[in-house]
Structure 1
Amino acid sequence: MDCVLQCLILFIASFHLAYAESIYYSVANLSSSWTNNPVPGEYVGYDRSELMPILLRPNEGPTSFVCGFYCNYDCDGYLFAVLIFPTMNVTVGRHPRIIYPRVVWSANRHALVSVNATLELTPEGDLILREANGAEVWSTHTSGKSVVGLSLNETGNLVLFDCNNSSVWQSFDHPTDSLVPGQKLALGAKLTASVSKKDWSQGLISFSVYSDGLVACVESNPPQIYSYRHFDYSGVIKEPSHVIFKNEGLFLSSGRRIWPFFSASSPLYLKLEPKGQVTVYEWVWNEYDWKVYGDSFLANYDCEYPLICGKYGVCSVGQCGCPGPNGGETVYFRPINFKQPDLGCSEITSLTCEASQYHSLLELNDIIYFPVVNEYGIDYDIESCKQACLENCSCKAAIFTHGEPGYCHLPSEIFSLALMNTETYPFSNSTTFIKVQNVPKEGPPAPVIDPAPIPPSSMKTSRIEVILASCFGAFFVMFLVVIIIWHSLFLKRKDSKEDEEDFLKQVPGVPIRFSNESLVVATENFSQKLGEGGFGSVFKGILRDGTKVAVKCLDGLVGRKDSFLAEVETIGGIHHMNLVRLVGYCATKSNQSLVYEYMCNGSLDKWIFRRSQELALDWQTRRKIILDVAKGLAYLHGDCQKKIVHFDIKPQNILLDENFNAKVSDFGLSKLIDKDQSLVVTTLRGTVGYLAPEWLSSTITEKIDVYSFGVVMLEILCGRKNLDRSQPEEDMHLLNVFKKKAKEDQLLDLVDKSSEDMLFHGIEVVEMMKLAAWCLQNDTACRPSMSVVVKVLEGVMDFEDNLDYSFLNPQISRAMEAVHNSNDVAVTASLVLPSILSGPR
């Protein structure tokens, strides 16, 4: 009854937010829908634009907000967007005054809609954007989550709320390329620039919040970081959970200002620009326009931005050009558009791996690559750096920084370069070599020899011979053509089969392709084995540049093509500090290998199941490992272009570097799920002991990783395997023991006794065990998401107290033990239970 009364009050309040004659509100109720049918030119700033308002939020302050269907320039398509505009005595009526709007959030910049597209707030509480033909373009996926209405609040946040006026979904949690005053950018979240001011689609530039600083990078493969502003933690107790944008600056969650500026009265918003700048715009009242108030704090000079002059473009004092030849050399580059030099340059002759013998390096005098903050630089001398680039087909340039030792950077994509001068780069000491494709020169023409005079008596005979020779030649050519056609048809099936075997040559986005011979040398003929994974063995290797790697040799592609492609395309296309980085791959008809970064401390299982006190991990290290794994999984589940479910989270797939930073590895069993797909039905896969109970129900989501993570948490905290056959039968299953100790309120008994530090922090360990219990709930809806787990571990959110400790599923345990008697057996698609074979329900 209270909820119904509150909803009624909200409805009355929403009605009074508008004037009597108004058709625009700041609140909308369920079962509302709007059709994109704008009035051309009615709402115009300096740019040509069209806007059909849906919700309007006029404020008493200098800034107001509106959401609706919006387009600018040629109106090739419409955004459903939130826009900021100066209040300027806005009158709310049938024709509200909305001028000079600027987009600060949008739902569908990847898929613009047309006229007559619809936005619907369904009776179930889902906000859905549909094309004119009814096809769904975007949704909040909030059906069944007690949504009672939609509102646009005074800060420009679009919110779906419940009857307690609590947010169920909000646009502030899904930023695009802008921030408005009062908006937070959470840890791990990022802004992504548009392609250009005229193109709404997502570009290459991103701006992210990490635990130790703000990172701006180009989303190439691997990413090229061009600005890393570290946080100063002096006097700050813990890592920030977010940064917040205010009129006075950009602030950490602790309240410390990290980017000062001083306007407090004019409307402001922050935008990540297509070229790489982070810019603050201010409304200038006397000029009636948005002007740049605070330029980016990411770089010192315009030429330091990665796309300021596009790919291969050379920046010099605000002007763009193409790399020129040295002396009388060949011209290799030309502008993409002579009228718009900032769009970059293109190669006159494209690089091709099939003609790598014609590759060479063009030295660019007094030109440097845009400043790159890259952790993967390698120590080289200049000649070795150049040779390494020539031997790697993926390398597009060799950037060598002189010193002792020298630093060699081998990017796989080239963006803007900069002309050095004493004012902008007084201390630069690097040399840039760009890889170019040379056109092979043809041999000299054969000498022309004057024919000897032909006697008149033989001219007739010669003419007959020519005719006969021509006929014979024509017949021979026709015969040859028939043979070639027959040969090609006969071998078509064989060729297609060979093409299938060579399908890996076309895998996009992989950093380096190694030959099998180079990996044999790097691994000393695969002599040092590090372990075994689901699809093959892993060996330690050292590349020619001294980089240590882990080479995973797959056991062939028979029946495993999709799995191998998933590893190559998935890991090669994502980059996160808590995910193992894919360095490259090898793909031949007989050998397929993946080359990963080397993690010197090996897998987690080697550390948490040891009984020696000298080797036992302390509490802070274990807590950091748990947080690292949670961050990696949260990224896979929520921040990738596609949602990625790992399917096989266990200590063997968690690797540790020299500082015991944890990274999730082995995506061989991963399955990609589109972001707008909430469920996926698949065959059983994973490792016995870590499998969630829903594997028997055919309803599989990313929550299976949450369950496996909960099991791993307990193993880390208790220092024992989830199935330990050395224990008495009643204590063999860790989850059974955990359930019993929880009922007896004796969870302290489970704390790893091999570490005195763990026992000293016993109370904190027990609290984290309760978080593990939350992850182990039988009902998937009761388990937290990994992003929520991260927030709990960072101390910015409390975990659920009302927990069900009957999470051990005897049915799935018996099913697993009936198939395998070992506690560490990987289950793949070959094991399919009847309930899964039945398909979707």
Structure 2
Amino acid sequence: MWMMASMISSIYTTFFLILYCYSSTALPYPYGPYHNYPIANLSTKWTNNESSLTSLNFTDGSRMRAILMRVGNLPIFTCGFLCNGTCTSYIFVIAIFILIDPLNIELEYQNHPKVVWSANRDFPVRHGAILTLTEVGELVLLDANGSTVWTTNTAGKSVAGVNLTDSGNLVLYDIHNSVVWQSFDHPTDSLLFGQKLFQGQRLIPSVSSTNWTAQKGLYSLQVTDEGLEAYVESNPPQYYSGYGERVTHKRKLDIYVEFFNGNFSFFAISAEDSYSEVMFRIPQASSIQYMKLMPDGHLKVFEWNLVTGWTVVADLLTHHLGECFYPLACGRNAICSANQQCSCPTSSSPRMDYFKRLNDLQPNMGCSEVTPLICDGTQAHVFIALKDIEYFSSMTDMVGVDIETCKQACMGNCSCKAAVFRYPHSDVSNGICSLPSELFTMTNVAGNGYQLNSSVFIKVPNVTSTLSLLPKRKNRVAINLGSVIGGSVFLLIMIVGYVVFIVQKQKRIGEIEEEYLDVVPGMTIRFCYEELKSATENFGKKLGQGGFGSVFEGTLKDGSKIAVKRLEGLAQVKKSFLAEVESIGSIHHVNLVRLIGFCAWKSERLLVYEFMSNGSLDRWIYHGDREYVLEWVHRKKIILEIAKGLAYLHEECRHKIIHLDIKPQNILLDNDFNAKVSDFGLSKLIDRNQSQVMTTMRGTPGYLAPEWLGSIITEKVDVYSFGIVLLEILCGRKNFDRSQPEEKWHLLAVFQSCWEQGMLLDMVDRYSEDMQAQGIEVVEMMKLASWCLQTDFTRRPSMSTVVKVLEGGMTVESNLNYNFTDPRIQKNNSHEKDLTPLLPSILSGPR
């Protein structure tokens, strides 16, 4: 069968090549779209419309407008504009298209293109968009309105042309045919033969096979010193599969994995020697193969087969225990048993349902808590004990401990959702303890010969009902029936009266609150609920999760964009709504996100903010995540604007406002990249003459000041958080980054080490040539960060002082303590390497 398929394929290919060689310009319509035109020169422009580009329309509703095409023996690599469905938006992609039968155009168009790379999958363009290879050698994608969506940033680098190679690599080359830029260096969710995934790069799956938007905040695949690692996103990310290969070279140059025909291999290339290891064997390809990280976390290899079409020939990350070891095999908080049977955890003694299915018709959607955990000290907690249950993540928080120690560590850790305890054989006192902050699918390993004893203890609120004890009574002959009836009637009247009183009281409280909201100072617009529901398309386009609620994009009737925060929860919503509206309703500053209006309707509480088109700062500063590399002049401007916004909150408001959660996600950028501080949902207002305030711990791990351990909180916690953000902007990386070598996971530890060795230049964002060129000035800015990161909060500058330093009116204090590594990191270094940068037990949890 295989030989016959190969023979048929060869006949078709030979037939097509004869036709093509005969006269490519004389081909009738069915063959015309498959001309070989893989190269273009400078000053070439392609417009996304029918008259400029050849359109290939497929039976699944997708359409490809080809820009370059490389016709090989079997596959055709095409780059161009691709859309599906109504085709109102397009992405610029590289796709594989198989030429089955050049005589049967209908058969061709049923063979849908397979996307292996995209430039703008999160920012689609419209009909009329333009791709240009400029005269200065930069490939630029412009939307129909002329706005820049994507660019290779190669202007002035001697680019001579663009070539779509026979391996599917889009290359900008110079006059010596050397690579200046290539798509292989910017992977999305797929790899082709010969493509490498380097340390610091990630594969992130698309949402689905028809929605090519990047699936943010779920699965990722990356290369570290430990090998190839697949993670499901949480705080911290949880490892679920991969290939371990610890690298011990001290002077390594490159660590990467590469996809070959027949295997997927790991490489570590150092100045002294080189090391390689085959991680996975893959069946030799008889045609074209590609590797793809799927929306469900699988890493699959697909191959074209003439009989069966695209076929999975390898599923590389699947555990020997099968599908159940994928984090969302049964959704969150669920148990996966044989044949992927999904169920919710239950307590057997006493019998209690703490979890319920999200969808009874789809058990694999997961389970939700009947009563959510609350970390405010008012709620008692207990454990559901699940024996012979394993958890997919091998990340370890404690070793050499017993069950009770593990459980107590979780009980005392606010962000811990469960205690996972594993021990070998019968040595229950020498176990391994994991404390996940988010609970995904668990696996029932009873009776399958699993090598470790494993149990999971899920933390739940103690809501056991107290049963009323009925007093025992002796039978009496004489019973005063009239007294019983009379007492019952009287009791009924009292209950009805009390209910009426409570209802009227709640109604009056609501009326008072409504009246209060009508006179909030500075609030000029009160929106009706239906107006905001319509503007947000029934709250359909979620921008993110903020303090106390979700944020949605909306468009008012006049065309103006807004961001609507829909407050959630029952216990805190009224208090938080009133506090937020009252505190920021009259605050106006160019570097603070403006609150436009609000809505109070029945139980709904919504806040309406100005829309920030470029999103949050974290999209622009982290290597691997960012969409465009910000130049030094833009970063300086953003840093100054953040400082001005915080200085206003601390020193110029009627009441001093401490933000308490400064991080890149809470810094928003408008269309001109002006920075504005957002989200005051966790803010704390204190009187001008009050120097410090005692409050419960709030904020985000990695940005919390050391004084949170003592709960003595001043505005200097914001200064410390600003110092962390400043360092991230200068270095182009996160404060905790597992994709780095182990000794560089913690940015503060690296900062202290480089400071002591006089090597701060090594910390400057190495993926930005502009930042490297401005290295001396960037290092000077790092000195300001060190001032903000002083462990003793009294030695940190005020934000107004920071503004003066940034504007050149002051210099950084010289007598600084350079031991600014967070003490919580030092404490954790004695434990396993997989601990997070901050112990979850001292955090109130991320927002």
Normalising by structure 2, what TM-score? Answer: 0.56
Does 2:333 align with 1:312? yes
Does 2:364 align with 1:342? yes
SS in structure 1 opposite 2:264? strand
Aligned equivalent of 2:437: 412
Query: Separation in 1 of the partners of 2:359 and 2:387?
Result: 24
Does 2:557 align with 1:557? no
Letter in 1 for 2:433: C
Given the alignment, which residue of 65, 86, 90 partners 1:78?
90
Contact persistence 2:355–2:367 (CA under 8 A)? yes
Letter in 2 for 1:343: M
Aligned equivalent of 1:219: 233
Aligned equivalent of 1:126: 138
Contact persistence 1:128–1:139 (CA under 8 A)? yes
Query: Separation in 2 of the partners of 1:367 and 1:554?
Result: 42
Pairing 1:667-706 to 2, within 5 Å after superposition = none
Q: CA deviation at 1:32?
A: 0.9
Contact persistence 2:190–2:290 (CA under 8 A)? yes
Query: Separation in 2 of the partners of 1:208 and 1:597?
Result: 19
Contact persistence 1:33–1:118 (CA under 8 A)? yes
Query: Separation in 1 of the partners of 2:368 and 2:775?
Result: 38
Query: Separation in 2 of the partners of 1:554 and 1:476?
Result: 37
Q: CA deviation at 1:150?
A: 2.5
Aligned equivalent of 1:181: 193
Contact persistence 2:705–2:720 (CA under 8 A)? no
SS in structure 2 opposite 1:196? coil
Query: Separation in 2 of the partners of 1:92 and 1:630?
Result: 59
Aligned equivalent of 2:219: 205
Does 2:283 align with 1:262? yes
Aligned equivalent of 1:351: 373
Query: Separation in 1 of the partners of 2:445 and 2:179?
Result: 51
Aligned equivalent of 2:454: 430
> Structure 2, unaligned stretches of length 5 or more?
1-20, 268-273, 472-482, 490-497, 522-577, 585-653, 667-702, 791-798, 819-847
Does 2:176 align with 1:154? no
Q: CA deviation at 1:333?
A: 3.0
Q: CA deviation at 1:411?
A: 1.0
SS in structure 2 opposite 1:398? strand
Given the alignment, which residue of 380, 383, 403 partners 1:361?
383
SS in structure 1 opposite 2:404? helix
Query: Separation in 1 of the partners of 2:103 and 2:159?
Result: 30
SS in structure 1 opposite 2:300? strand
Q: CA deviation at 1:647?
A: 8.1
SS in structure 2 opposite 1:156? coil
Pairing 1:566-715 to 2, within 5 Å after superposition = 566=725, 571=734, 574-578=737-741, 603=753, 608=757, 630=762, 633-634=765-766
Q: CA deviation at 1:483?
A: 7.3
Q: CA deviation at 1:432?
A: 0.7
Pairing 1:455-604 to 2, within 5 Å after superposition = 496=583, 501=657, 503-504=659-660, 556-557=715-716, 560=719, 563=722, 566=725, 571=734, 574-578=737-741, 603=753
Query: Separation in 1 of the partners of 2:499 and 2:332?
Result: 54
Query: Separation in 2 of the partners of 1:128 and 1:16?
Result: 36
Contact persistence 1:128–1:140 (CA under 8 A)? yes
Aligned equivalent of 1:717: none
Q: CA deviation at 1:360?
A: 3.2
SS in structure 2 opposite 1:83? strand
Relative to structure 1, the CA distance from residue 598 to residue 49 in structure 2 (aligned partners, 3 Å threshold; closer, same or farther) is closer
Q: CA deviation at 1:278?
A: 1.6
Aligned equivalent of 1:274: 295
Letter in 2 for 1:405: N
State the identity as a percent: 33
Q: CA deviation at 1:175?
A: 0.4
Query: Separation in 2 of the partners of 1:331 and 1:821?
Result: 59
Aligned equivalent of 1:284: 305
Relative to structure 1, the CA distance from residue 263 to residue 345 in structure 2 (aligned partners, 3 Å threshold; closer, same or farther) is same
Aligned equivalent of 2:683: none
More moved, 497-506 vs 354-363 = 497-506
Contact persistence 2:169–2:184 (CA under 8 A)? yes
> Deviation digits for residues 311-335 of structure 1, max 9, x if unmatched?
2232223424232313363323334
Aligned equivalent of 1:331: 353
Relative to structure 1, the CA distance from residue 172 to residue 133 in structure 2 (aligned partners, 3 Å threshold; closer, same or farther) is same
Letter in 1 for 2:353: V
Query: Separation in 1 of the partners of 2:466 and 2:246?
Result: 61
> Deviation digits for residues 154-182 of structure 1, max 9, x if unmatched?
11011223333332221100001111112
Does 2:157 align with 1:145? yes
Relative to structure 1, the CA distance from residue 194 to residue 379 in structure 2 (aligned partners, 3 Å threshold; closer, same or farther) is farther
Query: Separation in 2 of the partners of 1:436 and 1:342?
Result: 21
Aligned equivalent of 2:315: 295
Q: CA deviation at 1:26?
A: 1.4
Does 2:206 align with 1:50? no
Letter in 2 for 1:169: W
Letter in 2 for 1:285: L
Q: CA RMSD in A?
A: 5.8
Contact persistence 1:227–1:373 (CA under 8 A)? no
Aligned equivalent of 2:617: none
Contact persistence 2:225–2:740 (CA under 8 A)? no
Q: CA deviation at 1:83?
A: 1.1
Letter in 2 for 1:408: C
Letter in 2 for 1:250: F
> Deviation digits for residues 698-719 of structure 1, max 9, x if unmatched?
9xxxxxxxxxxxxxxxxxxxxx
Contact persistence 1:212–1:239 (CA under 8 A)? no
Q: CA deviation at 1:248?
A: 1.8
Relative to structure 1, the CA distance from residue 490 to residue 215 in structure 2 (aligned partners, 3 Å threshold; closer, same or farther) is closer
Query: Separation in 2 of the partners of 1:190 and 1:473?
Result: 57
Given the alignment, which residue of 221, 228, 247 partners 2:261?
247
Q: CA deviation at 1:553?
A: 8.9
Contact persistence 2:101–2:107 (CA under 8 A)? no
Query: Separation in 2 of the partners of 1:684 and 1:125?
Result: 44
Contact persistence 2:67–2:78 (CA under 8 A)? yes
Relative to structure 1, the CA distance from residue 164 to residue 687 in structure 2 (aligned partners, 3 Å threshold; closer, same or farther) is farther
SS in structure 2 opposite 1:303? helix
> Deviation digits for residues 648-691 of structure 1, max 9, x if unmatched?
759999xxxxxxxxxx999969xxxxxxxxxxxx9998999xxx
Relative to structure 1, the CA distance from residue 18 to residue 384 in structure 2 (aligned partners, 3 Å threshold; closer, same or farther) is farther
Contact persistence 1:205–1:219 (CA under 8 A)? yes
Letter in 2 for 1:566: V
Q: CA deviation at 1:279?
A: 1.3
Letter in 1 for 2:352: T
Aligned equivalent of 2:560: none
Relative to structure 1, the CA distance from residue 573 to residue 823 in structure 2 (aligned partners, 3 Å threshold; closer, same or farther) is closer
Does 2:244 align with 1:230? yes
Relative to structure 1, the CA distance from residue 415 to residue 319 in structure 2 (aligned partners, 3 Å threshold; closer, same or farther) is same
SS in structure 1 opposite 2:406? helix
Q: CA deviation at 1:117?
A: 3.8
Query: Separation in 2 of the partners of 1:218 and 1:378?
Result: 23
Number of aligned residues = 581
Relative to structure 1, the CA distance from residue 172 to residue 383 in structure 2 (aligned partners, 3 Å threshold; closer, same or farther) is same
Pairing 1:769-808 to 2, within 5 Å after superposition = none
Q: CA deviation at 1:305?
A: 1.9
Q: CA deviation at 1:189?
A: 2.1
Pairing 1:33-112 to 2, within 5 Å after superposition = 33-35=46-48, 43-44=57-58, 48-60=61-73, 62-72=74-84, 77-88=89-100, 99-112=111-124
Normalising by structure 1, what TM-score? Answer: 0.56
Query: Separation in 2 of the partners of 1:172 and 1:127?
Result: 15
